[in-house]
Amino acid sequence: MKKHKEIELMAPAGNFESLQAAIDNGADSVYFGVEQLNMRARASINFTMDDLSEISDRCSQKGIRTYLTLNTIIYDHDLSIVKTLLSKAKETNISAVIAMDQAVISIARSIGMEVHISTQINITNIETVKFYAMFADTIVLSRELSLRQVKKITEQIEIEQIKGPGGRLVEVEVFGHGALCMAVSGKCYMSLHAHNSSANRGACKQNCRKKYTVIDQETGFEMELDNEYIMSPKDLCTIDFLDQVADAGIKVLKIEGRGRAPEYVANVIRCYRDAIDSLANDTYDKEKVISWMQDLEKVYNRGFWNGYYLGQKLGEWSKEPGSHATQKKVYVGKGMHFFAKPSIGEFKVEAYDISVGDTILITGPTTGAQEMKIEEMFVNDEKGNLASKGDSVTIPLKFRVRPSDKLYKIVATEFAQV
Amino acid sequence: MVVITLQRAKCIGCNYCVEFAPEQFRMSKKDGKSVLLHSKEKKGFFTLKSPDDTILKNNMKAKEACPVKIISVKQK
C-alpha cells in the first residue's frame, strides 16, 4: 500500500490567542505578520516586533517552526524597517521569512535567514521554481494551479534535484483551506482603485465580497445574473481530497486565516491534523471526511469548494454575504480566578445565560481557544443549573484559565441543520 | 488656522499623504510610517497647528486618500 509522506501543517496566527490555539491543536508550523508590512496590515491586532521572542519561545518549546510573513510590496522608505525586522527575527530564532519583494529576499539571504517564496509571486512553472531555489528552501505555488500541474512541478524538482540554499530539495507548499481571492494569487487592485486601500500593502477592503449588479452603460439594461455576488469566491477546502493533494508531492499545507478567530484556528487545525495523520496511518476514509466537514462547517466559512485543484473552469461564488458557519459564539462573561488544585475556573456572567449542558468556549492570549461541555457548575457558591447576568459561576475545567480570558457560549446559527 | 492630526501607530506606510502634502508629511526611514512634520505628540496623536490656510487643500487630499483614515484636517 502507498504510504503518504509526512506533510507539514501550517497554521495562521493573527494574535496570541490564535497562536496558542494552533499550538494546542497540532500545527507543525505557524505564520504571522509583525507591524505593518504584511498582508493583514489593516487588522486591528497585529503582533509587534517585541512579540517575536515570545512567539519563538512558545513555539520552539513544542518543536513548532515559525514563519514571519513580510510579503507586501516594499517601497524605499520601508527598507530600514525591513532590515530591522529581519535582524530581530534572526536574533529571536524565527525559522524563516515568507517573502515576495526581491529586497526582502536579498536582505534575508544576506543575514543567512531561510526564505520561503510567498504565493504573491504566483509561481506556476518549474523554471521559476528553479530561479527562486537560488534563494528559497520552500516555495508556495500559485493557488490557481491544478493538482496535475502541481504534481508535474514536484516530480521535476525530484528529477532535476533542485535544491535550495539549505541543501535540501526545494519544498512545495500549497494552500489547503480558507478564503480565496477573486484575483490571481491575491494580486488585486480593486480595493486600491475603489478605496485607495491597497491589498498589496495588506489593506484589502474586501469589496469583492459585496453584492453587485452589472449594467450595460450604452443601453442602461441590467444584466440578469443568477447570483449577485459575482466576485466573492467560496472558501477553499481540500480535506475531502487530501489524499490527492498529498499525492501531488507537496510538503507543506497552509491554512489561511490570520484574520480569523482563535476557535476557527483551533477547529480547522484539529481537523486537518487528524486528516494528515489519518493519511499517514492509512485510516483516511469517507466516514472521517464527513465528520471533518461537519466540524469545518461549524466555524466561519462562505461555503466550500475545491478551488482550482481539480480543474474547474470557473470559480464558485458565494450566495449570501458573510459566513455560512453552523455555529457561532455569544459572549457570556470574563474569567475571574482559577483554583489550580481542584482545577476550577471562576467567571463573572456579564451578558448571556449559561446552563449545564451548554457548550462553552474560553479564549485568551495564553489559554488559546478551549471548547467544552458544562457538566456541572456552581452559581454564587451553590450547585446550580443556570447562571445569569451578574452571577458568579465556577466550573470544573480540564485546562488552566486566566483572569483576562473571555467566556462564550456556542449556539447554532440558521445554517445549522435542524 | 489649519489643524492636522495623525494617529501614527495605525499607519501602514502607503505614502499617499507624502504624495499629496509633501510639506507636512514625510515617511520615516526608521520605521516606514508617516511623520507629521513639526507636530506635537499626545497619547499617540500627533497634532500640527498651522496659521497658513493655503496648506488646507493639499492636506485635505491627504486625509481623503489615507486608506486607514488616521489623518484629520480641520480649519479653525
| Partner residues linked to A393 by β-bridges | A347, A379
Per the CB < 8 Å rule, is B66 touching A196? yes
Whether pTM exceeds 0.90:
no
Question: Cβ of A203 under 8 Å from any chain B Cβ?
Answer: yes
- Dist. CA A182–CA A318, nearest whole Å: 11
| Residue A379: how many other CB atoms lie within 10 Å | 18
CA distance A42 to chain B (A): 7
Q: Which domains does chain A have, with CATH numbers?
A: 8-180+233-305 (3.20.20.70), 327-412 (2.40.30.10)
Q: B18: nearest CA in chain A?
A: A77
Per the CB < 8 Å rule, is B67 touching A77? no
Residue located via cell numbers 526581491: A102
What the block records as the C-alpha cell of B20 is 499629496
What CATH number should be reported for the domain whose range is B2-75? 3.30.70.20
Burial A221-241 (b: 16+ CB within 10 A, else e): eeeeeeeebbbbbbbbbbbbe
CA distance A81 to chain B (A): 5
Identify residues of B whose CB sits under 8 angstroms from chain A CBs.
Answer: 11-16, 27-33, 64-68
- 418 residues of chain A, pLDDT tens digit each: 445 568 999 999 999 999 999 999 999 999 999 988 877 777 656 799 999 999 999 999 999 999 999 988 899 999 999 999 999 999 999 999 999 999 999 999 999 999 999 998 999 999 999 999 999 999 999 988 999 999 999 999 999 999 999 999 999 999 999 988 877 777 788 888 888 888 888 888 888 888 888 888 888 887 766 667 777 888 899 999 999 999 999 999 999 998 889 999 999 999 999 999 999 999 999 999 999 999 999 998 888 888 888 876 556 777 777 788 888 899 999 999 999 999 999 999 999 999 999 999 999 999 999 999 999 999 999 999 999 999 999 999 999 999 989 999 999 888 876 5
Per the CB < 8 Å rule, is A77 touching B12? no
CA distance A373 to chain B (A): 39
Chain A positions in Cβ-Cβ contact with residue B11 (cut-off 8 Å): 36
3-state secondary structure chain B: CEEEEEEHHHCCCCCHHHHHCCCCEEECCCCCCEEECCCEEECCEEEEEECCHHHHHHHHHHHHHCCCCCEEEEEC
Per the CB < 8 Å rule, is A36 touching B16? no
- Dist. CA A384–CA A357, nearest whole Å: 12
Per the CB < 8 Å rule, is B13 touching A80? no
| Residue A72: how many other CB atoms lie within 10 Å | 29
Using an 8 Å Cβ cutoff, are A372 and A360 in contact? yes
Find, among A300, A241, A234, A316, the residue nearest to A268 by Cα. Answer: A300
- Global ipTM: 0.81
Chain B positions in Cβ-Cβ contact with residue A195 (cut-off 8 Å): 67
What the block records as the C-alpha cell of A158 is 525530484
Nearest CB to B32 within list A42, A80, A197:
A80
Residue type, A406: K
- Dist. CA A94–CA A114, nearest whole Å: 9
CA separation, residue A12 to residues A51, A109, A137 (Å): 16, 24, 20
CA distance A291 to chain B (A): 41
- Dist. CA A293–CA A268, nearest whole Å: 10
